[in-house]
Structure 1
Amino acid sequence: MHENLNGHSRGSNMKEVTVLFVFAWTFLAGRSGGIDPNSGYCIGTQCFTVFQEPSDFTAAQIQCSDQGGHLMTVRSTVSHDILSILLGNSTGRFWIGLHLTSGCPDAAAALKGFQWVTKDSESDLFNWAPSFDSSCSSHRCVSVSQKDDMKWIQEPCEENVDGFLCEYSFNDPCKDLTVADGETVTYRTPMGFVGEDVLSLPPGSIAIRNPAKTKYICFSEQWLQAPWNCEIHLGGCEYKCAVTPNNVPSCYCPPGQTINPANKVTCEASAEDPCLPLRCAHACYNKGDSYACMCDHGFKLARDGRSCTDFTDCKDKRKCPGENFKCVSVTEGFQCVCKDGYKMRGGLCVDVDECASAPCEHRCTNSPGGYTCSCDDGYKEDPKSPDKCILHCGKEECAAECDPNDQFQCFCPEGYIIEERGVHSFCIDIDECASENCDQGCENTFGSYVCTCSAGYKLVEEFRCVKISEGDGNTDGGLEGSGAGTTPNMPTVSVGPYPEPTRQPSVVTVGGLVGIIVCTVFVIVLVVCLAHHILSGRGKMESAGELKAPEGEAHSLHQVTGDA
């Protein structure tokens, strides 16, 4: 273990350290368990990263959001050039933050009815591929690739492409550190990518100056030398970080090693360790002309002056008093994190706008800690998948849902049939009761039907009625045949799913049925007339033969001549 260095050179007060913690935590806390990007690029107050990680659109947007950003927006020639830099050596397709949230594409609009994940349509660049599909059944998310010259290609949102690009915005960036001869500086950004030739860096970025291995952190356009707040990457310490009784962060090392006096963070072998005789449980620091024990973050010094006591029990509700915070136990203490549906920003737990990742097929309404999906008019929530919507009529007759680019591509809800009336199509409720689907009573409903049973019977399997035996708890007052018929819950009736939006509905309309009947009658009449004509011709031929037979016989007589 090693002591705190004499005369902490930075002399930073606790206010600055606390502000640093809050600010840097905004960038670093969300990265727990995340994946690092393959490369990145920063310019001005923005950073862009590329992840070569197979993902669907929603998962990619969540990954970017968890790190404090969103899928990349390509609104200008500058962002288009950055896109080319990031994907210069990459193959495959990558998601960008452009999607169609509801409705059909609008071919006349610059963004074709699509919008950025930032919920706006502002853009100075429009780079659609020539193969753009404006039909209602077209794909609703957008990818780019080096192979397609970065053109915007429509993709199915639920399909896994080869990766995605994220975009982050920040304030108070740091410029690169000056480098002396023989020195190099390596930078690691809060987004996870590392580089040496970086001109603009976001707050929370770490710089390591080699060969001295001096560490710095970017804060408010300045580079602060380690050790800094112990909550942020162990204060930059190689081994461990602790806070002295005068609230100054300090690095310490394992037994037999001491802190390098030049960089204040790395450990080096020591022949003489003044902390060893104290047998401190965690660490020790220099206290004037002597040394004293101190404890890691989350612990306090016991009465014996060397042991450390854990005071981080999350049962104490006072541990994380902030709004929307919760306490979680970790290996060396506790941690205050945000409740589900919230994320850390500026030291506060703010609501996550889940709707930004377009989790709903139609409409999304954000709420504190969650969100709700709703459907456009003419649709209802799919009971099998609350984020999806299915066609809904709710009355005897409705206008059919037709593709605006193809009037013959029309669809109806389940339990309805299409009827064409001139150039318009309508959905007519099917009377399932006419098909005798129920054992006894049947009540037709819009889009379905309900089976009922007479008194003394009960409904089973949604359509069969079985006699109630004595002692059955479902009898009415215990008397067989008494009371009114039972009315069961409405069953779900399968009348065949409506067709996929890429093919013509496989139903026969009323107009088509009439046409088939007329054609059939015409064919039958034609066959009858043809048969009658053939039979009549045959009869005439037979009559003519009978008349010509005697005449033939007369012609066959030989002339008899007498002898002269």
Structure 2
Amino acid sequence: MDSYGQTILFTLFISPCVGMVHHCACSTNLKDCKNLYQMPVDFHTAHEKCREEGGQLMSVRSNKSDEVVGFLLDNTIGHFWIGLHLPEGKCSSNAISLRGYEWTSGGQGTEFSNWGSEEIACAPLCVSISSDRKWMERPCAEKLDGFLCEGDQKNLCTGREASSVTFLDDEQCLSARCEHECTPVAVGYMCSCMQRFRPNARDPHRCDFYCTSTVCEAICARDGTMCRCPDGFVSSEKNCEDIDECESNHDCAQKCVNTIGSYRCACFDPFILVNGTECILNPKFEFTTPSHNYVVRGSLSSPGEYVGLIIFIIMAVFAVLVLVHYLRGRKAAVQECNPSDNEFQKSGSQ
């Protein structure tokens, strides 16, 4: 158990809704979280989804990481993308641990590998993993059952669906600080919350009251004189009503979407969300004309390219103005050198 340190596993048993986090594992400071998403996506879409949440596809570089993967995929059926891909123009090789593949987080460093086959490939491939924890090579465009993300994603690990928290530690319930209920498990102990409560985001040993709808019943004293509502709600007699944070101050760069007890950020097309609040232009944005038979595909991906495009447009407009000015001056000069017939007549009569 020492290899786990003070790792916490947030067990989110969620109905199989598209795009939901099924399992999540976090460190005690909630700065390093690993999440299992269940939604049909290809590799590149999975990579973008992780970036939108402020993370990246998971790297499995050690035995410890592989053990966390085992927990996340426990009792799970399907295949899930991890952050490993073979770059275009390269062939795999069994002579090295990663066989020429690279992590989306950068580099080829690893202390661990668990390949499911030894076939040599010379085409762009990506790697998936399943409950047997074997690394399988697949076409990157193939849609799998989900993907594994890692990063600072504590809001996902302490989300609305969480009802229990498993601590990977040698401690047992005798020394645990679970506020509601503690259950001994093989890897340590599990703190659970009663109905209508969930683990606290800062200290998962504690439990917070929460609502599943915009209006819910408050928790009141027996005499009904004092009632309590969860964060993000306001008391209205013996009920709790959701506060629309989007009508007040929020930190969203473009769009704010109100949710039950909180809010989330979104972006206008063709921008995509990063780090939960910021918006950047989608690198794959397509410039289209009104004609359905003609499409110009833009591949601008850096601020310098956008600046260069703007400068080019300005210079083109300036050049057109200079040309118009020159042509007008040229026309005036020609008229001075070649006076009209009326002007000749006037000069003759004089």
**Alpha-carbon spacing, 1:220–1:239, altered in 2? closer, same or farther (3 Å):** closer
Which of 157, 160, 163 is residue 143 of structure 2 equivalent to?
160
1:160 offset after TM fit, Å? 1.6
**Alpha-carbon spacing, 1:117–1:190, altered in 2? closer, same or farther (3 Å):** farther
Secondary structure of 2:83's match? strand
Which of 186, 200, 210 is residue 218 of structure 1 equivalent to?
200
1:224 offset after TM fit, Å? 7.1
Matched AA of 2:19:
I
1:131 offset after TM fit, Å? 2.5
> What corresponds to 1:87 in structure 2?
73
> What corresponds to 2:134 in structure 1?
151
> What corresponds to 1:509 in structure 2?
none
Which of 302, 327, 341 is residue 272 of structure 2 equivalent to?
341
**Residues 327 and 335, structure 1, Cα contact 8 Å, conserved in 2:** no
**Residues 37 and 191, structure 1, Cα contact 8 Å, conserved in 2:** no
- Could you tell me how far apart the structure 2 residues matched to 1:170 and 1:329 are? 19
> What corresponds to 1:283 in structure 2?
236
Deviations 1:359-407 (A, max 9, x none): xxxxxxxxx433269xxxxxxxxx88767xxxxxxxxxxxxxxxxxxxx
**Residues 226 and 264, structure 1, Cα contact 8 Å, conserved in 2:** no
1:161 offset after TM fit, Å? 2.3
**Alpha-carbon spacing, 1:151–1:139, altered in 2? closer, same or farther (3 Å):** farther
**Alpha-carbon spacing, 1:212–1:164, altered in 2? closer, same or farther (3 Å):** closer
> What corresponds to 1:120 in structure 2?
107
Matched AA of 1:325:
A
Secondary structure of 1:162's match? strand
Rg comparison, structure with higher value: 1
- Could you tell me how far apart the structure 2 residues matched to 1:96 and 1:159 are? 13
- Aligned ranges 1:114-263 → 2 under 5 Å: 114-135=101-122, 138-146=123-131, 149-169=132-152, 189-190=157-158, 194-199=162-167, 215=197, 218-221=200-203, 236-237=210-211, 259-260=220-221
- Could you tell me how far apart the structure 2 residues matched to 1:53 and 1:118 are? 22
**Residues 96 and 142, structure 1, Cα contact 8 Å, conserved in 2:** yes
Deviations 1:513-540 (A, max 9, x none): xxxxxxxxxxxxxxxxxxxxxxxxxxxx
Deviations 1:207-261 (A, max 9, x none): 876897574663544777757xxxxxxxx357768xxxxxxxxx975xxxx7346
> What corresponds to 2:22 in structure 1?
38
**Alpha-carbon spacing, 1:153–1:34, altered in 2? closer, same or farther (3 Å):** closer
Deviations 1:165-197 (A, max 9, x none): 2334468x9xxxxxxxxxxxxxx9335663535
**Alpha-carbon spacing, 1:63–1:265, altered in 2? closer, same or farther (3 Å):** farther
Specify every segment of 5 or more residues in structure 2 that has no aligned partner in the other structure, as ranges.
1-16, 169-178, 182-191, 286-294, 300-350
- Could you tell me how far apart the structure 1 residues matched to 2:38 and 2:81 are? 10
**Alpha-carbon spacing, 1:260–1:162, altered in 2? closer, same or farther (3 Å):** same
Which of 76, 86, 103 is residue 62 of structure 2 equivalent to?
76
**Residues 255 and 265, structure 2, Cα contact 8 Å, conserved in 1:** yes
- Could you tell me how far apart the structure 2 residues matched to 1:139 and 1:385 are? 22
Specify every segment of 5 or more residues in structure 1 that has no aligned partner in the other structure, as ranges.
1-32, 174-187, 201-206, 228-235, 242-250, 268-281, 286-293, 300-310, 313-318, 352-367, 374-382, 388-564
> What corresponds to 1:325 in structure 2?
253
**Alpha-carbon spacing, 1:60–1:192, altered in 2? closer, same or farther (3 Å):** farther
**Residues 77 and 125, structure 1, Cα contact 8 Å, conserved in 2:** yes
**Residues 164 and 198, structure 2, Cα contact 8 Å, conserved in 1:** no
**Residues 36 and 191, structure 1, Cα contact 8 Å, conserved in 2:** no
1:99 offset after TM fit, Å? 1.0
- Could you tell me how far apart the structure 2 residues matched to 1:152 and 1:169 are? 25
**Residues 320 and 326, structure 1, Cα contact 8 Å, conserved in 2:** no
Secondary structure of 2:137's match? strand
- Could you tell me how far apart the structure 2 residues matched to 1:50 and 1:96 are? 10
**Residues 257 and 266, structure 2, Cα contact 8 Å, conserved in 1:** no
**Residues 58 and 157, structure 1, Cα contact 8 Å, conserved in 2:** yes
- Could you tell me how far apart the structure 2 residues matched to 1:296 and 1:82 are? 36
Higher relative contact order, chain-length normalized (CA < 8 Å, sep 6+): 2
**Residues 272 and 282, structure 2, Cα contact 8 Å, conserved in 1:** yes
1:163 offset after TM fit, Å? 3.1
1:104 offset after TM fit, Å? 0.9
Secondary structure of 1:39's match? strand
Matched AA of 1:189:
C
RMSD of aligned C-alpha atoms? 5.0
**Residues 158 and 200, structure 2, Cα contact 8 Å, conserved in 1:** no
1:67 offset after TM fit, Å? 3.7
- Could you tell me how far apart the structure 2 residues matched to 1:196 and 1:336 are? 24
Secondary structure of 1:59's match? helix
Which of 270, 278, 294 is residue 350 of structure 1 equivalent to?
278
Secondary structure of 1:198's match? strand
- The answer on 1:61 being equivalent to 2:55 is no
